[in-house]
Amino acid sequence: MNGSVVLLHLAGAVALLLWATRMVRTGVERTYGDQLRQRLRGVIKRPILAIGFGTALAIALQSSTAVTLLVGSFVGSGFVSGIAGLMAVRGAEVGSALVVKILSYDLTILVPICILAGTAIFMTTERRDWRQNGRILVGVGLLILSLEMTGQATEPLRHSQLLPIIVDYLSGDPITAYLLAALITWLFHSSIAGVILLTTFASRGLIHPELGLVMVLGVNLGSSIIAPILTRNAPPETRVVPLGNLLMRGAGSLIVLVLFLTFHPPLGLLGSDPVNQIVNAHILFNIIILLAGIPLSGMVLRATEGLVNLNKPKAQPQPMAAEELSALDPSVLDTPSQALANATREVVRVCETVEIMLQRVMDLYENPDPARIKELAALDDRVDRRHAAIKLYLAKLATGELSDYEALRTQELLGACVKLEQVGDIIVRNMLAHVQKKMDRKLEFTEEGWRELSQFHAFVLANAHLAFNVLVSRDGHTARQLVQEKDRLRDMEKDTSQRHFSRLREGATRSLETSTIHLDTIRDLKQINSLLASMAYPVLEEQGLLRDTRLKVAQS
């Protein structure tokens, strides 16, 4: 087998590895993402708990970078301190290293099991969470399969005449090996993929453990660069955690590299074979950075804040407010297709504002703040202004000659805009009133009650994403799924109410104090979900998937 074919097979195996990792991560995010974010936001305020949850979250998402970006957004929003954020990321790096350890075992028997079970689950149900669980299982199966493919692809390299020359050069030039590993990891956007590639080479005897350890340190450098690059245009507060991680992990990898090249410690302590030595070195390095980070976090945080302030652009005249810009161009009203496209763009902006309101209102339940309450109420004013402008625009459009489809689309956009305006009113007039009441009376939910509210809210928020997608794509499958989720939410409401009343019967003091707020919030969220689900009805009706007010039985 010639070199180009070997590289093609290796590239395909690495591509499958990256794709499978993404499948697992997106499956977890779509099914459990909102719950994980709520949970992380709850524990991240305590640095020690933040370390543990960051570790678990990185294992679930198969990516420490994803955790870094998530935690960075929390710090940027002011939900948690920079110290706790840095500690959560330290835990995430250890979790990512543990994933490599798990994958270093022989798991080939799980390939057919995971792919078969995942495919069966995905193909036999319409429930979104079950389908995503199937997606996760298939992703795990493909991930393990990609490791086997990588090993097979590198087997011919044992007989390569060029590879020993490259390895000898890199062994004599550890700085180049270190930087090459960092570059490859940055290109992969995955430290897991980078370390697995090294362990595959080591298992085939293509690289020796000393070179593998040097390149593992390079992998850690490359991984720490990804998040700062992805957040380079974000607000300074959001960049604090990614840059702090780069300072700790990137600088730590360089320091450890210098120490290793100076003292040449024996690698036998890390394991009996090259694979274990490389994997355990990766884990040990991140544990060392975690332990060093505990006392050094304050200093790193101050240095990072200084960096982002130095890079902060000078104050410039404020640009025109976003609400003053509009896609509703009256000059194209004589061209209905363009006018409808403009109206759709404007309704999408309303969707974005309503989504922000729906996200932030639950934050206020947990951390009520008068200034942020006013900011949220101001967003409802923006929704009202856009709603009035869209309604007037579509009314003018309707006076012209429209095709049947254009007339239906006009009514669909108008109906969607009305429902979005109603959602905004529920959030501001009802839910913010509950927030104010909770703040004034200094009430606290029970842990179980807050968890139920958070899960219910996460479910409604996920359905909001579906509704907004349906509005733009008009996809029948997504519309049907949205209406089916409405039935699931009804069952969730019954279960939540029953558990709440059980706590009341047991005489839980905090449940008694917050009972009205708890039940009213559930009712408001259910009403919001019903309004959002109804945005799917025009699509279902047009495609013949709706009978009266209920879904037809699916046709085989």
- Give CB contacts under 8 A, 24+ apart, made by 311-318: 311/236, 312/236
Beta strands 550-551 and 546-547 are: antiparallel
- pTM of this structure: 0.64
Rounded distance, CA 392 to CA 383, Å? 14
**Helix (H) / strand (E) containing 78:** none
The Cα–Cα gap between 139 and 28 comes to 11
Closest to 100 (Cα-Cα) out of 268, 291, 284, 251: 284
Compute how many other C-beta atoms are within 10 angstroms of the C-beta atom of residue 117: 17
The predicted pLDDT at position 445 comes to 80
For residue 70, give the DSSP letter. Answer: H
CA distance 93 to 51: 10
Could you read off the pLDDT tens digit of each residue along the chain, which spans 556 residues? 566 788 888 889 888 988 888 888 888 877 776 666 666 666 666 767 888 888 988 888 778 888 888 788 777 766 667 888 888 889 999 999 999 999 888 888 999 999 999 999 989 887 777 888 898 999 999 989 988 888 888 888 777 778 889 889 999 999 999 999 999 999 888 888 899 999 999 988 889 999 999 999 999 999 999 989 988 877 788 888 899 999 999 999 999 999 999 998 988 889 889 999 999 999 999 999 999 988 888 898 888 888 887 655 544 444 434 445 677 888 888 888 888 888 888 998 899 899 999 988 888 887 788 888 888 888 888 899 998 999 898 888 888 888 888 888 899 999 999 999 999 999 999 999 988 888 888 878 877 778 888 888 888 888 888 888 888 888 888 888 888 888 788 888 888 888 777 777 766 555 566 778 888 899 999 999 999 998 888 888 887 766 554 555 444 3
Report the interhelical angle of 82-103 vs 209-230 (nearest 10°): 140
Q: Do residues 488 and 129 touch, judged by C-beta distance below 8 A?
A: no
Tokens of 437: 């009441």
Q: In the prediction, which pLDDT does 115 show?
A: 94
Could you please report the per-residue DSSP string of 143-172?
A: HHHHHHHHHHHHGGGGG-SSHHHHHHHHHH
Pair 417, 390: CB distance under 8 Å: yes
**Closest by Cα among 25, 47, 45, 35 to 91:** 47
Q: Name the nearest CA neighbour of 92 among 194, 227, 210.
A: 227
HSE, CB side, 13 Å, CA atoms: give it for residue 217. Answer: 25
Phi and psi for 549 in degrees, rounded to 5? -115, 15
Q: Dihedral of CA 393/395/396/400: which sign?
A: positive
Cα 366 → chain centroid? 21
DSSP 352-412: HHHHHHHHHHHHHHHS--HHHHHHHHHHHHHHHHHHHHHHHHHHHHHTS---HHHHHHHHH
Helix (H) or strand (E) holding 127: none
- Distance CA(546)–CA(284), nearest Å, equals 58
| Closest to 284 measured CA to CA, from 306, 304, 267 | 267
Rounded to whole angstroms, the Cα distance separating 394 from 417 reads 11
Q: What angle do CA 530, 532, 538 make, to 5 degrees?
A: 100
Q: Is 547 helix (H, G, I), strand (E, B) or coil?
A: strand
- As a 3-state breakdown, the chain gives helix, strand, coil percent values, each rounded to 5, of 85, 0, 15
Q: Which residues of 313-327 are buried (b: 16+ CB within 10 A; e: fewer)?
A: eeeeeeeeeeeeebb
**Alpha carbon distance 258, 152 (integer Å):** 34
Give the integer Cα–Cα distance in Å for 382 and 105. Answer: 55
Q: With CA atoms as reference, report the closest residue to 540 among 491, 458, 482.
A: 482
The pLDDT score that the predictor gives to residue 298 is: 86
Phi, psi of 550 (to 5 degrees): -120, 155
Q: Does the CA dihedral 341-347-353-355 come out positive or negative? A: negative
Give me the pLDDT at residue 318, please: 43
Give the closest residue to 260 by CA, choosing from 217, 223, 222: 217
pLDDT value at residue 555: 46
In the numeric block, the tokens 């490599």 are attached to: 100
How many residues are listed for the chain in this entry? 556
Report how far apart, in Å, the C-alpha atoms of 103 and of each of 21, 84, 499 are.
12, 29, 40
The residues with which 546 forms a beta bridge, in sequence order, are 551
What pLDDT score was predicted for residue 156? 82
Output the DSSP codes for 180-246. HHHHHHHHHT-HHHHHHHHHHHHHTTSS-HHHHHHHHHHHHHHHHHHHHHHTTTS-HHHHHHHHHHI
* Domains of the chain, CATH where assigned: 3-310 (no CATH), 325-551 (1.20.58.220)
- Structure-token match 């062994």, residue found: 171
Tally of CB atoms within 10 A around 147? 23
Residue type, 235: P
Instruction: Report d(CA 334, CA 409) in Å as an integer.
Output: 16
C-alpha Rg value of the chain to the nearest Å: 27
